[in-house]
């Protein structure tokens, strides 16, 4: 896979229509775009899948929406991921998505969708900690499936007060931190050789 510009896939692990984590992913994506990346923003609710069950996979193969997601993941050099904190851990839909997408298709290298892909993590929560307790779980998850997880991340506390009526972060510092994650994903994707001219 090669491109003159990095291609970044952005999504959150929340299914809510007005998800704060989705809004934060959109904000972070602007940093990637400013760094020259082509960003695709998706919602996991548009790719519903059953809970991962190997017997289902053995009997029926990978679900259609899993195959669609795998093609999207393989076509992008990095990911911006919004990580809602559920009971100090990862959301079920995000974990289930990773579990399905990580399954190899015929002729596909192990973990091809994640191998050396750059991942930038964000989290948003109405609480003061901004969902930061769940981010180590995300970091461990993506790190163990061969992705390169950025050391910098952004957890947005009191997110219900952070966005204006148009969905933009009102505070310049917070906006800069969110965009910094997206920018770093785009820049590192080039540096690690995922993108070639």
Rounded CA gap, 113 and 69, in Å? Answer: 9
Q: Tell me the C-alpha to C-alpha distance, in Å, between residue 34 and each of 76, 97, 145, 173.
A: 17, 28, 28, 17
- 8 neighbors 79 (Cβ within 8 angstroms): yes
pLDDT, tens only, 63-115: 999 999 999 999 999 999 999 999 999 999 999 999 999 999 988 999 999 99
Total Cβ atoms within 10 A of residue 63: 17
Q: Where are the domains of the chain?
A: 7-191
Q: Which CATH superfamily is domain 7-191 in?
A: Flavodoxin domain (3.40.50.360)
Low-confidence ranges of the chain (pLDDT < 70): 1-3, 193-197
What percentage of the chain carries pLDDT values higher than 70? 96
């Amino acid at each position: 896979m090669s491109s003159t510009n990095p291609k970044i896939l952005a999504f959150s692990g929340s299914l809510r229509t007005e998800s704060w984590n989705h809004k934060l992913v959109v904000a972070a994506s602007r940093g990637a775009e400013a760094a020259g990346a082509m960003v695709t923003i998706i919602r996991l609710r548009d790719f519903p899948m059953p809970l991962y069950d190997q017997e289902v996979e053995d009997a029926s193969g990978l679900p259609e929406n899993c195959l669609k997601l795998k093609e999207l993941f393989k076509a992008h050099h990095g990911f911006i991921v919004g990580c809602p904190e559920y009971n100090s851990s990862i959301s079920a839909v995000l974990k289930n998505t990773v579990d399905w997408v990580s399954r190899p298709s015929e002729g596909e290298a192990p973990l091809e969708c994640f191998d050396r892909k750059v991942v930038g993590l964000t989290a948003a929560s109405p609480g003061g900690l901004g969902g930061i307790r769940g981010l180590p779980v995300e970091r461990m998850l993506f790190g163990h499936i061969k992705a390169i997880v950025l050391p910098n991340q952004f957890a947005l506390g009191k997110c219900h007060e952070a966005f204006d009526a148009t969905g933009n972060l009102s505070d310049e510092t917070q906006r800069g931190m969110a965009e910094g994650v997206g920018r770093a994903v785009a820049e590192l994707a080039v540096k690690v050789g995922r993108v070639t001219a």
